[in-house]
Homo-oligomer: A and B are copies of this chain.
Amino acid sequence: MAEELKEAGGKVRLYVTAPLAAGAAVAPDEGQTHYLLHVMRAKAGDRVALFNGRDGQWLAEIAQAAKRAVILRCLTQSAPQAEVPDLWLAFAPIKKTPSDYLVQKAAELGVRALLPVFTRRTIVSRVNIERMGANAIEAAEQSGRLSVPRVAAAVPLERLLADWPRERRLYFCDESLDAAPLAEAARGHGGPAAILTGPEGGFDPGERAPLRALSFVVPVTLGPRILRADTAALAALAIWQSVAGDFSQQGKFEP
């Protein structure tokens, strides 16, 4: 966490689960406490920004900084609560390092939920949801978001589709068949929406046909080159945000 926060301009921004309101006392968790005391060398009176996904962003000060405990006190709300656009990413899990990267980037690009999904050619058999959640929090803190992406339990593709909320468009990044470019298919369709990307080996033909037959599935292409799984997911999120999401909104959040 430390390094990323410093890179974001020296402003400390923490995600907490406690309610935030004027005068409320908040105890950061163990990792945040360590970070504040031993990385930032925070002292009583120093200021940080807090968010919890519900109460907006709050300016807080360090009320107590003992050897192993910190108490923060909320001063004023610096931004009202706001949500990212209603976009999910359903993705075949990939190896550890690219997976960390994917979760981080997807959170920065403003995804609302991450849904790992096992496809026929998915090689990775175990998904570390806790690790994904921690990466998502870190990226949310760094990016100025006021919410943390939800990380769903990994499920097989059939299960994902059977339980799918039908009013949510699912943009299926199809590698080899004819499909509309994502920028054209998504333009003006502000959500609810989701992107579906496959594993390194792509989708199986036995998965493609049933997918394309579903009313909520929109097959899309990401151009003529073969993209790695994580590249495809990030490119699709960026394109969706630019034609249907909030990339046309001005102004960065400031703690």
Contact = CB atoms under 8 A, between A and B. Distances in A.
Contact of A144 (B183, B222, B226): B226
A235 B234 CA distance: 7
B247 A238 contact: no
A119 interface: no
Contacts of A167: none
Contacts of A252: 175-176, 224-226
Copies in the complex: 2
A101 B197 CA distance: 19
Contact of A247 (B200, B222, B234, B250): B222
A28 interface: no
A50 B176 CA distance: 21
A9 interface: yes
Nearest to A140: B225
The 4 residue pairs across chains A and B that have the minimum distance between CB atoms? A235-B238, A223-B247, A183-B242, A7-B200
Interface of A: 4, 7-9, 101, 104-105, 108-110, 142-145, 175-176, 178-179, 181-184, 200-202, 221-228, 231, 234-236, 238-239, 241-243, 245-253
